[in-house]
């Protein structure tokens, strides 16, 4: 017998109001763009720091980490995937563009209601290799935020140490960048398919690194000067325990770089995004021994490790206790669909009938 979701009539009145008034959180990433079918990005629309990253030595090293010999970046991405998975380049392109639909199928292929089921997903997924390789390509062409490049530039300016850990290393491009900047780098991931593919890619290019399989290995303590955890922490099943491990792995004063790509609850396309409150994650991370020093382009948080329980740590957490409700209020206000005549009419119609209005907005404005 099919189990049907509760109808909208069973939801609370306040929840219905919130769903209408607030712009919903992103519930899916959607199909990847193809740079060859897109307009060339205009750097004038970027922030100064992003333009500087685009023109930097680090960006060129990032592109070199993707390239194979004299092949273009696009050809190199498709060549990696085609050679490793033994399928045609055209099929690889289609899988890259439509990776999310494939990922949903992988998620739904087994029970994911337990930590064991989620870990099984990470250890069987193939779609993420295609997603992450294309995402690196998009960063290299300026069609996506250059998180790895901007992070590396910050580290070079603010850290004298040269031991790097890429936590949730994916296909390994971030580690390659740090390696080519003179760092000793380690790749750590719970996904064996991703770790195996990354190892194959790096060896193919002559890049050396250490690999940590988080299924049966723990992070070494007091080892790293910086840790990148880009697009990673919303996917870990035990957030607080993970942060404790990262804290122990860093030297005193070391840096952790992370972002929180939260999605709407109960989104089928984003089921592997396990958390839905970025402010809560930020506060929990800082509570366990980090201070949020700055944020790169409002995307990547730069945290510095401190000793928990110190006066500095307590003062900082006290500030977060006060500021967190204000930050949530601001975030909510940014999502509000402020009333206009059209929206008022639509809201009244939907509350009265339970259905969205179907009419011409131009007519409503006349």
Query: Do the domain assignments include residue 137?
Result: yes
Question: What is the per-residue pLDDT for 16?
Answer: 61
**Comparing C-alpha atoms, which of 194, 333, 330, 186 is closest to residue 272?**
194
Query: Do the domain assignments include residue 350?
Result: no
The label of the residue with tokens 């337990």 reads 114
β-sheet with 224-229: strand ranges across: 210-213, 184-189, 163-167, 224-229, 250-258, 300-305, 290-296
**Pairing state between β 250-258 and 300-305:** antiparallel
331-358 pLDDT, tens digit each: 777 777 666 676 667 767 766 776 766 5
Query: Contact at 8 Å (CB) between 169 and 213?
Result: no
The model's confidence at residue 4, banded by pLDDT at 50, 70 and 90, is very low
Query: Do the domain assignments include residue 340?
Result: no
Query: Do the domain assignments include residue 71?
Result: yes
Q: What percent of the chain has pLDDT over 90?
A: 75
Query: Do the domain assignments include residue 359?
Result: no
80-131 pLDDT, tens digit each: 999 999 999 999 999 999 999 999 999 999 999 999 999 999 999 999 999 9
252-284 pLDDT, tens digit each: 999 999 999 988 888 888 999 999 999 999 999
Question: What is the per-residue pLDDT for 227?
Answer: 98
Query: Do the domain assignments include residue 210?
Result: yes
Question: What is the per-residue pLDDT for 113?
Answer: 95
Task: Tell me the angle at which helices 147-158 and 127-141 cross, rounded to the nearest 10 degrees.
Answer: 70
Tell me, what CATH number does 196's domain have? 3.40.50.150
**Comparing C-alpha atoms, which of 47, 49, 73, 71 is closest to residue 62?**
73
Question: Global pTM?
Answer: 0.86
Q: How far apart are CA 126 and CA 124, in angstroms?
A: 7
- Plot region of 231 (φ>0 → left; ψ -120 to 50 → alpha; else → beta): left
**Pairing state between β 210-213 and 224-229:** unpaired
b/e for 297-330, b at 16 or more Cβ within 10 A?
eebbbbbbbbeeeeeebeebeeebeeeeeeeeee
Stretch (H or E) spanning 254: strand 250-258
227-244 pLDDT, tens digit each: 999 999 999 999 999 999
314-337 pLDDT, tens digit each: 898 888 888 888 888 877 777 776
Query: Do the domain assignments include residue 231?
Result: yes
Question: What is the per-residue pLDDT for 17?
Answer: 62
111 by Cβ neighbours in 10 Å (0-12 / 13-18 / 19+) ranks as: exposed
| Mean pLDDT value across residues 52-81 | 97
Q: How far apart are CA 82 and CA 85, in angstroms?
A: 5
Q: How far apart are CA 269 and CA 120, in angstroms?
A: 18
Domains contained in the chain, number: 1
Q: Is pLDDT at 25 greater than 90 in this prediction? A: no
Alpha helices in the chain (DSSP H): 13-21, 48-54, 57-66, 73-85, 89-97, 99-108, 115-122, 127-141, 147-158, 173-180, 192-205, 239-249, 278-287, 311-335, 341-353, 361-365
The model's confidence at residue 362, banded by pLDDT at 50, 70 and 90, is very low
Question: What is the per-residue pLDDT for 324?
Answer: 83
| Mean pLDDT value across residues 210-235 | 97
**Structural domain that includes position 270:** 9-24+48-334
Query: Do the domain assignments include residue 363?
Result: no
């Amino acid at each position: 017998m099919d189990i049907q979701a509760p109808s909208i009539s069973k939801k609370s009145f306040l929840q219905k109001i919130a769903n209408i008034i607030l712009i919903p959180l992103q519930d899916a990433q959607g199909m990847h763009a193809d740079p060859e079918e897109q307009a060339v990005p205009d750097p004038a629309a970027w922030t100064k720091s992003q333009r500087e990253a685009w023109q930097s030595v680090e960006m060129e090293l990032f592109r070199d980490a993707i390239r194979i010999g004299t092949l273009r970046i696009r050809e190199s991405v498709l060549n990696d995937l085609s050679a490793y998975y033994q399928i045609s380049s055209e099929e690889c392109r289609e899988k890259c563009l439509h990776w999310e639909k494939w990922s949903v199928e992988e998620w739904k292929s087994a029970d994911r209601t337990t930590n064991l089921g989620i870990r099984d997903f990470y250890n069987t997924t193939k779609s993420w290799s295609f997603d992450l390789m294309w995402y690196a390509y998009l960063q290299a062409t300026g069609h996506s935020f250059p998180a790895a490049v901007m992070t590396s530039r910050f580290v070079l300016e603010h850290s004298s140490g040269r031991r790097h850990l890429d936590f949730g290393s994916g296909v390994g491009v971030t580690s390659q960048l740090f390696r080519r900047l003179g760092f000793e780098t380690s790749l750590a991931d719970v996904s064996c398919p991703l770790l195996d593919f990354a190892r194959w890619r790096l060896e193919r290019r002559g890049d050396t690194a250490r690999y940590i399989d988080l299924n049966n290995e723990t992070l070494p303590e007091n080892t790293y000067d910086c840790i990148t955890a880009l697009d990673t922490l919303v996917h870990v099943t035990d957030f607080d325990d993970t942060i404790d491990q990262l804290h122990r792995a860093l030297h005193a004063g070391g840096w952790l770089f992370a972002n929180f790509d939260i999605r709407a609850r109960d989104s089928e396309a984003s089921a592997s995004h396990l958390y839905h409150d970025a402010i809560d994650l930020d506060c929990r991370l800082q509570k366990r021994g980090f201070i949020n020093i700055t944020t790169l382009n409002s995307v990547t948080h730069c945290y510095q490790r401190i000793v928990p329980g110190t006066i500095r740590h307590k003062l900082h957490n006290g500030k977060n206790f006060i500021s967190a409700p204000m930050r949530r209020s601001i975030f909510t206000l940014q999502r509000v669909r402020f009333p206009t005549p059209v929206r008022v009419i639509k809201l009244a119609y939907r509350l009265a009938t339970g259905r969205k209005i179907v009419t011409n907005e131009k007519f409503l404005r006349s």
